[in-house]
Amino acid sequence: MNLLAGEGREAYLRFIVAGLESPVASAMLRLHGRQTGNGGNLVHVLNTAWDENNVTWLTKPAVTGARLDSIKTVDAKKWHAMNVTAAVAGNGTLDFALIGTGPQLVSYDSRESSNAQPELIVVLQNFEADLLTVPLYGLYEIMLQATAEGVNPYVDGPGVAATFTGVSGAAQGKSLTVKGFWDGGNVYRVRFSPFALGEWRWVSSSNDSGLNGKSGAFLCEGRLPANHANTT
């Protein structure tokens, strides 16, 4: 997937949303950068009468929806999140257009990628109410299981990381990718200390199918006790 504003390039994405049984609390579109450069505006495309195998510059859908969010700079091999809550009302087909804003070629991984496909993450209102609460600068830990035990995980074991993205409160717009570690057998863990109040969501990435594409969320509320101190 490429963007090049200087040559009038636009990229289109389509998601089929199904199975939602509660009102949407928030929605986030995640794109994985392949090449560093200027970003692009994310626009909601209202006209869904197009097909990726036949669309051309002359037959492309009209970009009539309001701008939802934007990316200023795309970093290669990093995830970039955009707030698309205003476009996700429930089940149905969602089309987005990425309009280039700079002279540099910007490349994102497309659905053909093995482990970095574009992702639409939707959180429902009843799910948000049940989120685990973690204090500011507290510890949030993810436990994941690989498909099989490695002979020597430090050498031939799969790598794993999780990208944490803030979607509300002071955390909104903040993002951090944290590498995980092997914890015996086929168990891997990722530890994260939230540095801003609000809702955080995470998605894992790995070359092992058991570790890749897992996701979750939590709320960062309150602070650690005044007498709390980290020890090493």
- Which 3-state string (H, E, C) describes 21-63? CCCEEEEEEEEEEEECEECEEEEEECCCCCCCCCCCCCCCCCC
pTM above 0.85, yes or no: no
Residues 98 and 11 in one domain: yes
197 and 176 in one domain? yes
121 & 135 share domain: no
* Dihedral, CA of residue 189, residue 202, residue 41 and residue 172, to nearest 10: -120
Count of domains observed in the chain:
2
Residue 48 confidence (pLDDT): 77
Apex 164 CA angle, 162 and 166, nearest 5: 170
Which residue, of 90, 125, 160, is where some domain finishes?
125
Across the strands, what pairs with 163?
Answer: 177, 203
Taking 80 as the threshold, does the pLDDT of residue 199 lie above it?
yes
Q: Which residues on adjacent β-strands are paired with residue 132?
A: 218
Compute CA distances 9 → 34, 100, 122, 140, 187, whole Å.
Answer: 17, 7, 28, 41, 44
Instruction: Please indicate, yes or no, whether residues 185 and 81 belong to a single structural domain of this protein.
Output: no
Residue 218: per-residue pLDDT: 92
**Judgement on whether residues 104 and 159 belong to the same structural domain of the protein:** no
pLDDT, position 5 = 43
Residue 228 has pLDDT above 70, yes or no: no
The domain of 136 spans: 131-223
Which is more confident, 9 or 140?
A: 140
- Could you give the CA distance from residue 225 to residue 128 in angstroms, rounded to a whole number? 25
Q: What's the confidence (pLDDT) of residue 6?
A: 43
The pLDDT of residue 65 is 80
The backbone torsions φ and ψ at residue 161, rounded to the nearest 5 degrees and listed phi first, read: -150, 160
Mean pLDDT, the chain, integer: 82
- Answer yes or no: is pLDDT of 33 > 80: yes
Which is more confidently placed, 227 or 56?
A: 56
Query: Is 166 within the bounds of a domain?
Result: yes
Q: Is 90 exceeded by the pLDDT of residue 134? A: yes
| pLDDT value at 140 more than 50 | yes
